Amino acid sequence: MKLALAGVSHHQAPLALRERVAIDLHAAASLARRLASADGDGCEAVVLSTCNRTELYLARPADDGLTDRADRALLELAGADAASLAPVAYRLTDESAALHLFRVAAGLDSMIPGEAEILGQVRDAFTAGAPGPLLDRTFRMALHAGRRARVETAIGESPSSVPAAAAALAEQVFEGLADRKVVLVGAGRTSELTARNLLSRGAVVSVVANRSVERAERLASTLGARGVPLDQLPDAVAGADIVVSSTSAPGLVLTHAELSAALRGRRGRPLLFVDLAVPRDIDPALAELDGCFVYDVDDLEAVVASSLAGRRSEAVEAERIVSAEAERFASWRASLVVVPVITSLRARAEVIRSAELARVESRLENLSEGERAAVEALTTQIVNKLLHLPTVRLKEAAVTAHGLHYADVVRDLFGLGEEDE
């Protein structure tokens, strides 16, 4: 089985490029199913898309340009921006792709190391995707590595999430958040987490705006706010100190044209826009208005930088855990080469043992039931002992460069598969 990954992340691609390939979970699930079905039987696919990255994981029995297939599918998402995206995209295969996924699940590849959300996002992508035997094992081991990194180290301690960083940024801008009024745009998990972080620092959530008013009202009721539809945003924003937007809308939700008139009455009173959406919700041109400040997810990197020093030692330990899990994956994948050979070898030995017992059946007919059982046990034990060392050596060779050679030699020596031919 071959594993391939094509992706783009915050390490090389700015937000303007990442948002061109960002898709929601429903679209990621549809893409994974389409990729799996397009390449025939045995193809597997999982698509992971977050604010930091979009990655396509493909697997199938033979290579046959699998990496190119993943790369083309990624660039197709970018549409007209494919030429700009290609130089900053990365392509990984087999153990390198698995190690990358393990690091992602552990929060080691995130803009904010140890972020809390990524493990759940990896799990959701896996559940919604179209995995088969290889991607199922790969993602399960990645989730295990991510959980170990969080349980056995302190890499996940706050502030280690985008919502926490957003609240820290707001506190820096206003030099304290006591009684600052917050408007949330979007009623999803990110909005709720950001609101909780802001509330813990003294801010007040006054309005939750959402396309679905019912969802807005549900979240607002837990925050002591009121829920409104998106068309009431200009009035809500005009009285706010902080606007946090995190929707799954495909385009801008708060634009310069719609808000400029409503904001004139503020007369330069500071207004902080924090855009946590990918693609972006907030028009960057709003920063041109007097007193308005616009920050997006990439801007949060500077906020996080000051908190990294205390987590570096934990990241080192988390890297050790991930490396150990990646070695386990490599050993398992390598064993796939020799396991069929071992199975065939033991099956051939059992056929020979059974045939020889059947050949001398007439000489054994006077044996008691207990004596027959003893003969069965003895011959089985002889076969197991003869095959024990070759089995061990094959498994040991599987994790080396000679694994395939050993497997081919055993097939040739014992004529495995010749009966089928």
C-alpha to C-alpha distances, 183 to 35, 98, 275, nearest whole angstrom: 40, 40, 12
Sheet strands (E) in 211-350:
226-229, 242-245, 271-275, 292-296
Which are the contacts of 94, defined by CB distance < 8 A and separation ≥ 6? 2, 3, 333
Check: CB of residue 108 under 8 Å from CB of residue 52. Answer: no
DSSP state, 253? Answer: S
DSSP string, 103-159: HHHTTSSSSSTT-SHHHHHHHHHHHHSB--HHHHHHHHHHHHHHHHHHHHSSTT-SS
How many other C-beta atoms are found inside a 10 Å radius of the C-beta of residue 301? Answer: 13
The answer to whether residue 51 is catalytic is yes
- Annotated active-site residue in 6, 51, 111, 198: 51
- Helix %, strand %, coil % of the chain (to 5): 60, 15, 25
Task: Report the DSSP pairing between strands 53-60 and 44-49.
Answer: antiparallel
Catalytic amino acids?
51
